[in-house]
Structure 1
Amino acid sequence: MAEWKRDLGSGLVVLVPLLVTLYAIAWLFSFIAGLPLVGVIEEPLVRVVVTLAVFAGALALVGTATRTAGGALASGWLDTAINRVPILRVVYNASQLAVETAVSGDAELKEPVKVTTWMGARMTAFKTGKRTDDGRMLLFMPTAPNVTTGYVIEVDPLDVEPTDETVEEAMTRLLSAGFGDRNRAPAEVAADD
């Protein structure tokens, strides 16, 4: 029964953000295509090009606005409001992280590692590629399922355990609160217990 629930949870982790993203894109495209300026264009190809141009212009406008004090305040308010809605916050944060990772590349999250914290608990963290003056590694340890918050920790390199996970695998586990973890061989699970 537990394996069935895990499979269902893993499927939800993959499909829900994908379906929400596709729906949002379709809705946004239909909305822009229905604007009075765009809606009067009869030629389908021209209509698609104009719709994409309006979308690109809106992205540039919003991007410019968020770099102002008022835009940063509005963006912070929007993040706070969305993070109060239980299911929406997971989808929103996952989408936000995916876009940030795609736009910024892998410069922010270099590779996942394990760090043993209090009472022997192993936690997932990510290398930042930075070090302190005394040689400690700076790691980012995100919270789950809201991975946009977390802790920046300084750890002795000897206390950092490498993993065979990719950034995507570790982020999937964190965003799904553990339900999206990959299935491991029984020998791997026994070694962890």
Structure 2
Amino acid sequence: MVRQKLKSSGTVSAKKLIPRIRRYFLAGFLVTAPLGITALIAWWIINFIDEWVTPLVPTKYNPETYLPFSLPGLGLLILFISLTLIGALTAGLMGRWVVRTGERILNRMPVVRSVYSAIKQIFETILAQQSNAFREAVLIEYPRRGIWAIGFITGTTKGEVQNLTLEETVNIFLPTTPNPTSGFLLFVPREEVVPLDMSVEEAVKMVISGGIVTPPDRRSTEKQQQPIVSSGTYEEMDILREKDKAPILVSKRKI
């Protein structure tokens, strides 16, 4: 009788212990996994920069030549100092003249000219202090009515694309999951874009995680209970007609 009680109590304790161990393991994994992955990515970036930058330093100026061990992050430090010095030099009169001369030479090269001008324009747009690129997360219906996707406004549509469209449109970058560096460029009417209160960082996390990481709704309780869009919100605004044998969407509003 006593043995049966001890055996039953031991079984109950084991049943309680296993879920507890599992819970502790998952808690430890959730704490260490993000830290470990972040450390690995940071270490990989530092090593990648070191492998490319450190060999460019002359041997007699390389501290690792005189030390019995390598210096992690030396290439990153050299890159930071070099970029800072280049920025300081180009801010002066002589530096600006050198940059303009180099750009004139590049503009005479057919293929290099296109690549350089495109890359320069992208960096100037993204890094400009007054730029609104990737500073607002929005909600759009894509790839069809009734299905919503998170996108990022990269600017106001200009040029031929805007002139060919009836409504005012905006440029929206639609990222893919789990790699947000690839995606699609969409030209969406501004009135069909739903701005989100979540930050760009929160929206990126949501895209990368595939919706697993969802930021909280920080709007007031009253606003949370009042949806402003639905799959049929814009259906009555558009009609389908043919023009030059090409189907296009035209607003019902009188122009």
TM-score normalised by structure 2 residue count: 0.41
Cα deviation digits, residues 21-80 of structure 1 (max 9, x gap): 3322564688759x97432335x9xx78965327866xxxxxxxxx9x8xxxxxxxxxxx
Match of 1:144 in 2: 177
1:170 to 203, 206, 210: 203
Q: Distance in 2 between matches of 1:109 and 1:24?
A: 26
CA distance in 2, matches of 1:11, 1:119: 40
Match of 1:158 in 2: 191
Asked whether the 8 Å contact 1:124–1:141 carries over to 2, the reply is yes
Contact 1:13 1:176 in 2 (8 A): no
In structure 2, the residue matched to 1:20 is 40
Specify which structure has the bigger relative contact order, considering alpha-carbon pairs within 8 angstroms and separated by 6 or more residues: 1
Partner of 2:134: 109
Compared CA separation, residues 56 and 125, structure 1 to 2 (3 A): same
Displacement of 1:164: 0.4
Other-structure match for 1:123 = 149
Partner of 2:78: 53
Check whether the contact 2:134–2:152 (CA below 8 A) recurs between aligned residues. yes
Q: 2:206 & 2:29 partners in 1: Cα distance?
A: 11
Amino acid in the other structure paired with 2:177: A
* Pairs aligned (count): 143
- Please tell me whether Structure 1 or Structure 2 has the larger radius of gyration of its CA atoms: 2
Q: Which runs of 5 or more residues in structure 1 are unaligned?
A: 58-66, 70-99
- In the superposition, relative to structure 1, how do residues 41 and 29 fare at CA in structure 2: closer, same or farther (>3 Å)? farther
Q: Distance in 2 between matches of 1:119 and 1:12?
A: 41
SS at match of 1:108: coil
Name the aligned partner's letter for residue 129 of structure 1: G
In structure 2, the CA distance between the partners of 1:109 and 1:8, relative to structure 1 (3 Å rule), is farther
Preserved CA contact (<8 Å) 1:111 1:167: yes
Report sequence identity in percent.
19
Alignment check: 8 A CA contact 2:46 2:72 kept = no
For the 8 Å contact 1:10–1:179, the answer to whether it is kept is: no
Q: Take 1:166 and 1:114, find their aligned partners in 2: how far apart are those partners?
A: 13
Whichever residue aligns with residue 147 of structure 1, its letter is P
Structure 2, unaligned runs of 5 or more: 1-22, 83-105, 112-122, 230-255
Instruction: Give the residue type in structure 2 aligned to 1:181.
Output: T
Q: Does residue 1:180 correspond to 2:213, yes or no?
A: yes
Matched position secondary structure for 2:63: helix
SS in 1 for 2:151: strand
Q: CA deviation at 1:10?
A: 8.2
CA contact (8 A) 2:50 2:73 kept: no
> 1:120 is paired with a residue of what secondary structure?
coil
Residue 90 of structure 2 is matched in structure 1 by: none
TM-score by length of 1: 0.52
RMSD (Å) for aligned C-alpha atoms: 4.8
SS at match of 2:177: coil
Which of the pair is proportionally richer in helix? 1
